[in-house]
Structure formats: C-alpha cells, structure tokens
Amino acid sequence: MLPEKLTNALNDQFNNELQAAHAYTAMAAYFSKKGYHGFANFYLVQSREEHFHAMKFYHYLTAMDEKPVLQSLAEPKNHFVSAIDVLESSLAQEKDVTSNIYALVTLADELQEHATLSFLDWFIEEQMEEEKTFRDIITRVRGIEEGGEYFLKMDDEFATRKMEE
C-alpha cells in the first residue's frame, strides 16, 4: 500500500497519460483530414505510446495493491491552423507531462517511496526522448513549406513509424 497522497498523484498521472493519448488522436485527425497520412500515422503511434504509458501506471498501482481510478477525459484541442501548430502543441503537452513526472518524483522522494522512485526513472528517460523528438521535428518543419517536397518526404518517413516497446 502506498500513502494516499501518492496513490492519488499516480492515479492523476494515469489519467493524464490517457488524456495525452486522446489529444494525440485529435492531432492525427488534423493530418488525416489534410491527406498527410504519414504524419497521421506518427500521431496514432504517439497515441498508442501514451496509452502504453498509462497502462504502466495502471499496472504499478495494482502491483502496489492500489486501485487505478479512471477520471473523465476533457475534449482535446481539435482545431489547428497548421502542422507547426500541431507540433508546438505536442511539445507543450510533453513539457507538461515532464513537469508532472518531476512532481511525482519529488513527492515520492519526500515520502521515501523508493519503489515508486525506481518506477518513475523510466518515465524521466522517456520524457527526455519525447521532448527531443518534438524539438527536432519542429526544427525540421519550421524551415519548410507545409505540403512542399520536403514536407511530403517527412510524411513518407512518418508513414513507416511503428510503436516501440
């Protein structure tokens, strides 16, 4: 059993990860509607990864004899003005997740919950990778025209992306 405050925070993050998956599906829809199926695939894979992250919290909670509690999901942003708008929203979302993970680490440290600290190590590494990925893509997309030759080449590249576990 975990302290109630930590259990509640872990459940909040479980739901935050589900919310992120929900948001990435909405971002995929933007690209699908525009006919950029590679970018849509990138975001659908991203959505599945966020769901995978949520399930890590689910399984950790159950392993610690706690109950995962599902909360309502908010409607994600569904209207974007450009690919760069989607990408910048993605980076902002990942930065929020990183902040949430850091807060969980701080709380677990204060409560001397070493198992939780160990569990959260994976997420710290994952968030560093996620933020870098979006910063790199933003750098690439900022210098090109949406729908242009290089953008379409990126679309083809993203069409081959698969979920890594």
Q: Read off the DSSP letter of residue 77.
A: P
Residue 30 lies in a domain: yes
Q: Which domain holds residue 139?
A: 4-159
User: Does the global pTM surpass 0.75?
Assistant: yes
Structural domains of the chain, count: 1
| Polymer length of the chain | 165
pLDDT in tens, 83-142: 999 999 999 999 999 999 999 999 999 999 999 999 999 999 999 999 999 999 999 999
Feature table: binding site: 17, 50, 53, 94, 127
Known binding-site positions for Fe cation? 17, 50, 53, 94, 127
Q: Is residue 145 part of a domain?
A: yes
CATH number at residue 96: 1.20.1260.10
Judge whether 165 lies within some domain: no
Copy the structure tokens of residue 139: 């750098």
How far apart (Å, rounded) are the C-alpha atoms in residues 121 and 161?
25
